[in-house]
Amino acid sequence: MKKPAFTVLCSLTIAAMVSLPLKASAQDLGTCFIDSLTGKERKELVKWMYFSMSAHPELEPHANISLDDLQGSHQTIAKLITRLFPNEARAARKADPQALKKALKLVGKVAMQDILTDKAVRAAVNDYTRFVDQEKIKDVFLE
C-alpha cells in the first residue's frame, strides 16, 4: 500500500540531507525504509533473517527449512528491497556512497529488534537462567 504523504516526507527529508552530516543521510534513508514497511513485510523480513542465519554451520543441522521456503523468502525480500529503493535513494547515495548499505543495516537492526521483542523469543532467550548456579553468580555482585 502506497503512503503518499509519507513519500512526500521522505522526499523532503532526503532532499534536505545535502546540508546534513553523512551519517544522518543514511539514518534518514534507513528511517524512510523502515517507516515504509508494512506489517506483513516486517514479518517477511524477520522470517528471511531467521532462514539466512540458519545457514550458519552451527545452526544448519537444527534447521528444517525447505529449499522452496528459502527461495520463496529470498524472492520476497528481493521484491521488498526493489520497492524500498525509491528515487530518493539516489540522492542519499550521492550524499554518502555508503548510505544504502547503512540504511539496509538499520532495516536489519529493526528486524532483529522485532525478533527479540517477541514474548516467546524473550522467554526462550531467558530460559537458560533456570540452570545458572545462582550462588556463584551472587558472589560476583557481593564483592
Cell (9 digits) for 103: 540504511
Q: Can you give the pLDDT at residue 15? A: 42
d(CA 130, CA 133): 9
d(CA 105, CA 95): 17
Q: Can you give the pLDDT at residue 85? A: 80
d(CA 95, CA 92): 5
d(CA 82, CA 98): 17
* pLDDT one digit per residue (tens) for the chain, 143 residues: 444 444 444 444 444 433 344 445 677 888 888 888 999 999 999 999 999 999 999 999 999 999 999 999 999 999 998 888 876 788 788 888 888 888 889 989 999 999 999 999 999 999 999 999 988 888 888 86
Q: Can you give the pLDDT at residue 111? A: 92
Contact 109, 30 (CB under 8 A): no
